[in-house]
Chain A
Amino acid sequence: MCLGVPGEIVEISGDDQISRTARVSFDGVTRVVSLAGIPEAVVGDYVIVHAGFALNRLDRDEAARVMELIDALRACPGETRP
């Protein structure tokens, strides 16, 4: 159901929400995807792309928080709940 891959928006075009598209780069492979689901996205945002559609933006703060939780676990292996 769910093959979604993260990539970086390198270009945006389109005037209205439904026709708005972005060229997204996945480590150098690019594809034009629909940005209709994320009207507020801007160049430089990271998004998860599924079937040619950007599902959501990647929240870098939340991503950092996950890694902080893991670092905390590494430091105190007995503390499995934050």
Chain B
Amino acid sequence: MKLLEEYRDPATVRLLADAVARIATKPWRLMEVCGGQTHSILENGIDSLLPDAITLVHGPGCPVCVTPARSIDTASGLACRHEAVVCTFGDMLRVPGASTDLMTARSAGGDVRIVYSPMDALGMARSDPSREYVFFAVGFETTVPVTATAVLRARASGTGNFTVLNAHVRVPPALEWILAMPDCAVDGVLAAGHVCAVTGYEEYEPMAARHSTPIVVTGFEPVDILQGILMGISMLEAGEARVENQYARVVCREGNPAAMAMAREVFEHADADWRGLGVIPGGGWAFREGFRSFDAASRFGAVPDCPDPGDGVCMAAKVLTGVLEPTCCPAFGRDCTPGSPLGAPMVSSEGACAAYFIYRGGGR
């Protein structure tokens, strides 16, 4: 696409990679937070362009991977019992819940539909008032305003058969949790560019200072990622720990106030269960009192109020916090493959484990 090509230019990528090699004098570990960045790094082989001293680790920015297993079971149950048409993003279809998954629900006759946008789910609900429609809302702050807009439009149009099964989460508390870990081995962070397009990056500034960890707001194309790495390594080599913005063509410090206003009108911060990590205080979003009528958990009977069951031997927690590289997990490529995953990071193609398997030939 013409708006992306200059950010994929091989000569520019080489120029930036050479610059990184020139300035790195020590081993550094950079965490890229967003699953989309993981995908881009592995698909383009960006890590192979870097000097050995630079290690990229993959953080928990895969919304599909961190959605609680019991939320998936709830969504599947709604479809199976024909209580609602469940509308979902495509990548949620394959993720195993604690006891079932959305594709199994569909095979059993449940009406599960893939949508590109919550607005499409709202549109379906409005054109079919005889049935209940539930949008399974996963994702970070990039997606929260989108869901909020759908809810606000549902309210404005008096649409009574549209609700949201909410599993939205927040990045900064999870990042804080990782950086505060005693064995945290992350030296610098590439922050998720599209999340910051919505939220801005002001709240990352005290985090960078508190943990003496430089944070670079970074885009997704090869030029963006390498430039973000160059900016991060530059700060590390100079002993600086600030927030810098590589993705300035899309992100500004204040973010998008109009989008955040809609998000905050419908949702408020809440504790949330991150699959593989456990409960992160303030790590999620919950419906505000005035919008509970759009909460599918209220309308259909709540998601069970108990801790999410763990995924057994799956080492998602260590992978998602950058402590363990997927290929170092004893189950990787043996008991755990995309065809027979033990946990969510191997099922979703944005998950660190599946990305390594697909792009590093885990089966060979």
- List residues of chain A with CB under 8 Å of any chain B CB: 1-7, 17-19, 26-27, 33-34, 36-39, 46, 48, 50-53, 55-56, 58-60, 62-63, 65-67, 69-70, 73-74, 77-78, 80-81
**Nearest-CB residue, chain B, relative to A1:** B140
The residue in chain A whose Cβ has the minimal distance to the Cβ of B143 is A51
Q: Evaluate whether A1 and B145 lie within 8 angstroms (CB atoms) in the complex, with A18-B156, A59-B248 already known.
A: no
- With A51-B118, A56-B197, A66-B248 known to touch, is A1 a contact of B16 (CB < 8 Å)? no
CA distance A29 to B157 in the complex (A): 29
Contact of B61 among A1, A7, A34, A63 (CB under 8 A): A1
Q: List 15 extra interface pairs beyond A19-B156, A66-B246, A70-B227, CB under 8 A.
A: A2-B193, A2-B194, A3-B36, A18-B153, A27-B1, A36-B258, A36-B262, A48-B250, A51-B142, A59-B248, A62-B249, A70-B12, A77-B18, A77-B19, A81-B234
Q: How far is the CA of A14 from the CA of B188 in the complex (A)?
A: 43
B62 CB contacts on chain A under 8 angstroms: 1
Interface set of B (CB-CB < 8 Å, partner A) = 1-4, 6, 12, 15-16, 18-19, 22-23, 34-37, 61-63, 89, 116-120, 139-140, 142-143, 145-146, 149, 152-153, 156, 171, 192-195, 197-198, 220, 223, 227, 230, 234, 246, 248-252, 256, 258-259, 262
B152: A residues at CB distance < 8 A? 18, 36
**Interchain Cβ contacts under 8 Å between A and B, 10 examples:** A1-B143, A1-B192, A6-B1, A50-B194, A51-B143, A52-B146, A53-B149, A56-B197, A66-B249, A67-B6
Determine whether the beta carbon of A37 is less than 8 Å from that of B256: yes
User: Is A52 a contact of B3 with CB atoms below 8 Å?
Assistant: no
- Cβ–Cβ < 8 Å partners of A53 in chain B: 117, 119, 145-146, 149
Q: Is B116 in contact with A52, judged by CB distance below 8 angstroms?
A: yes
Contact call B194/A48, Cβ cutoff below 8 A: yes
Q: A-B pairs with CB below 8 Å: how many?
A: 147
Nearest chain B CB to A10's CB is how many angstroms away? 14
Chain B: minimal CB distance from A15 (Å): 11
Minimum CB–CB distance from B89 to chain A (whole Å) comes to: 8
When chains A and B are docked, how far (Å) is the Cα of A18 from the Cα of B183? 45
Q: Are A2 and B16 in contact (CB under 8 A)?
A: no
The answer to whether B16 touches A50 (Cβ under 8 A) is no
What is the distance, in angstroms, from A17's C-beta to the closest C-beta of chain B?
Answer: 8
Tell me, in angstroms, the Cα distance from A69 to B19 when the chains sit together: 13
Q: Closest CB of chain A to B85's CB: distance in Å?
A: 18
Task: State how many angstroms separate the Cβ of B173 from the closest Cβ of chain A.
Answer: 15
B258-A39 in contact (CB<8A): yes
Interface centre among B12, B37, B119, B152, by most chain A C-beta atoms within 10 angstroms, is B119
Contact for B120 among A3, A46, A52, A58, CB less than 8 A = A52
Q: Which residues of A contact B18 (CB under 8 A)?
A: 77
Q: Which of B2, B22, B149 has the most CB of A within 10 A?
A: B149
Q: Report if A80-B1 is in contact (Cβ < 8 Å); known contacts: A50-B146, A55-B259.
A: no
* CB nearest neighbor in B for A3: B36
Contact assessment for A2 and B118 in the assembled complex, using a CB-CB cutoff below 8 Å: no
Question: With A1-B139, A2-B142, A50-B142 known to touch, is A56 a contact of B251 (CB < 8 Å)?
Answer: yes
